[in-house]
Amino acid sequence: MKYITRLNHPPAVKLPEDNRPLIAPIYQSVKFTFDDVEESERHSRGERDGFIYSRVSNPTLRQLELSLAELQGRDSCLLTASGVAASNLTLMALCKQGDHVVLFAEMYQPTRYCVRRLLARFGVMHTMLSIDDHAGIEKILASKPTRAIVFESPTNPVLKVADIVRITAAARAHGALTILDNTFAGFHNHGQFDIDVYVHSLTKYASGHGDVMGGAVIARKELIDAMRTDFIVMGATLDPHAAFLIQRGLRTYGLRYERQCGNAQRIAEFLASRPEVKRVRYPGLASDPGHALARQQMQDFGTMVTVELAADSDGATRFAEALQLFAISASLGSTESLVQPGRLMRPRDLSAEEKGWAAVNDTTVRLSIGIEDADDLIADLEQALAER
């Protein structure tokens, strides 16, 4: 062969069967091949295992899918290029014209947008409620056939704790699917409940280092299989290198999450003692409205702390800007601590009543707690409170 041909057909390196890499390699290949057409046809008919095209499936992605499904206590998983893609593709795959969806004001704005704008264009109806409105949830389910209830727990950003037992029981009684955005709680929480579909942003705790994006949809196999073709055709597939980085991040997931929760508890207790703080929302505080429910439902209380400052909008802004260890940034769950002032979280798509349910105003500040030393973080918060 001439060198230009050889460069496109490099020598294959095969490992002996008893000689395995400790860390699985990145299968950074779009295409896979079989030795002949017959085996390719058998694969396309589902008669044999294997891979053909990375938008459909890839060994690196498959390892991550198996890891996440097991961690969440289910048997199947689909990966996407972002958390938003995971949430919205799930809704698009499960809903059709004439269906009805229940959603809540206290949830991620892009999810609200998908239901209220994108799905509405294709004839999917919806009802917006507050996650606290248990009577309203049961009333709407009893009065209107509903395809799915989509919710979060704890909610973003004010950390309301949903009554998962009550929601799932009502949904099951009326034939509705439950879709839980479980990003804030993490993969090790809520697996014991009768949830049909778990959605996660892998950008947060799974990766943990703020340098890769991804999403996951986790459910029982038959439900994942029913959505799989739609996901493949939509094309928002996770890249193999991103999947490798997320799988690597999972190795320290438990250690990071435990440290972040411990830091969050100390910080919430500190902030609750300060006169500059009007209110602290953290399920780990006995004074929090969701504390008893969180103790029943969760193994821990999470890594997010949200406060309402005893200040005006400018004071909340000065507080955020005075922080030195907390970066002003979106997202959460990474090793460094982050802050989002209310001015950057205003729910502009909600009505006045719905904004009241969401409970976000200009003096609201959301803190994502990292793995730094808790004393250093508290000292930073203390000096910033003096600047508010």
Encode the chain (388 residues) as per-residue pLDDT tens digits: 887 888 788 888 899 989 999 999 999 999 999 999 999 999 999 999 999 999 999 999 999 999 999 999 999 999 999 999 999 999 999 999 999 999 999 999 999 999 999 999 999 999 999 999 999 999 999 999 999 999 999 999 999 999 999 999 999 999 999 999 999 999 999 999 999 999 999 999 999 999 999 999 999 999 999 999 999 999 999 999 999 999 999 999 999 999 999 999 999 999 999 999 999 999 999 999 999 999 999 999 999 999 999 999 899 999 999 999 999 999 999 999 999 998 898 888 898 998 889 889 999 999 999 999 999 999 999 999 998 7
Q: How many CB atoms neighbour CB 253 within 10 A?
A: 20
Residue 258: phi, psi to the nearest 5? -60, -45
343 tagged catalytic: no
Helix 59-72 / helix 240-250 crossing angle, nearest 10 deg: 40
CATH 3.90.950.10 matches 253-385 = no
The residue type of 70 is E
**108 annotated active-site:** yes
Is 144 a known active-site residue? no
Annotated catalytic residue: which of 42, 55, 274, 279? 55
Phi and psi, residue 3, nearest 5°: -60, -35
The conformational region for residue 33 under phi > 0 = left, psi -120 to 50 = alpha, else beta, is beta
Q: How far apart are CA 334 and CA 167, in angstroms?
A: 30
Mention every residue, 6+ apart, whose C-beta is less than 8 A from residue 157. Answer: 304, 306, 340, 345, 360, 364, 366
In this structure, what token pair is assigned to residue 173? 């009684």
- Could you say which of 27, 108, 198, 253 is catalytic? 108
For the structural domain made of 54-250, what CATH number should be given? 3.40.640.10
Contact call for residues 186 and 68 (beta carbons, < 8 A): no
- DSSP code of 160? P
Catalytic residue among 112, 160, 204, 366: 204
Q: Is the dihedral of CA 264, 266, 271, 272 positive or negative?
A: positive
Residue type, 78: L
Classify residue 367 as exposed, middle or buried by CB count within 10 Å of its CB (0-12, 13-18, 19+). Answer: buried
For the chain, domain boundaries = 54-250, 253-385
Tokens read off for 356: 């009241």
pLDDT for position 388 = 76
Q: Is residue 53 annotated as a catalytic residue, yes or no?
A: no
Order of strands across the sheet with 76-80?
76-80, 215-219, 197-201, 177-181, 148-152, 100-104, 125-129
Q: pLDDT at position 385, please? A: 96
Q: How far is CA 217 from CA 56, 64, 247, 313, in A?
A: 15, 12, 16, 37
Helix (H, G, I), strand (E, B) or coil at 178: strand
Assess contact for 219 and 193: CB atoms under 8 A: no
Longest Cα–Cα distance of the chain, Å, equals 78
- CB-side neighbour CA atoms (13 Å) of 367: 34
Instruction: Provide the 3-class DSSP secondary structure of residue 338.
Output: strand
pTM of the shown model: 0.95
pLDDT of residue 176: 98
Strand partners, 340: 366
